[in-house]
């Protein structure tokens, strides 16, 4: 069973930055695609970024492109989401999710919510105006 643990987030001022981390407990970290999803107040969950550890492809939703950066630390089995130039519209619950794509032809991003196998509990980001 793969477990995902998010950290970071919290309260940030408009224009500020924060970094989310997603630690993946799997000996096969490199077989996975990791997606970041967020759900704003009263909104549907949105896939905002994705990184295929296996295939190398990366995706950003238009809403975050140019402001957010996804990266990874293979030694720590961790994927990061650096979030810059935050606005109140970025407020929401952020989730990382994983899917083993070792036997799945690429590309693997964007990650589709219904295809993800493992989910973190989520972490809240609040951007004050």
Confidence bin at 110 (pLDDT 50/70/90): very high
Q: What is the pLDDT of residues 58-106, one digit of tens each?
A: 999 999 999 999 999 999 999 999 999 999 999 999 999 999 999 999 8
- Alpha carbons 78 and 45: distance in angstroms, whole number: 22
**Rg, Å, the chain Cα set:** 14
């Amino acid at each position: 069973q793969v477990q995902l643990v998010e950290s970071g987030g919290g309260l940030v001022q408009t224009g500020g930055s924060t970094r989310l981390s997603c630690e993946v407990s799997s000996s096969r970290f490199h077989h996975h695609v990791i997606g970041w999803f967020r759900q704003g107040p009263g909104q549907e969950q949105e896939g905002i970024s994705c990184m295929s550890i296996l295939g190398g492809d990366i995706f950003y939703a238009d809403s975050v492109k140019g402001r957010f950066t996804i990266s990874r630390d293979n030694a720590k089995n961790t994927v990061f989401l650096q979030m810059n130039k935050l606005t109140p519209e970025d407020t929401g619950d952020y989730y990382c999710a994983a899917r083993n794509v070792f036997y799945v032809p690429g590309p693997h991003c964007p990650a589709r919510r219904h295809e993800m196998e493992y989910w973190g509990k989520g972490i809240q980001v609040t951007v004050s105006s």
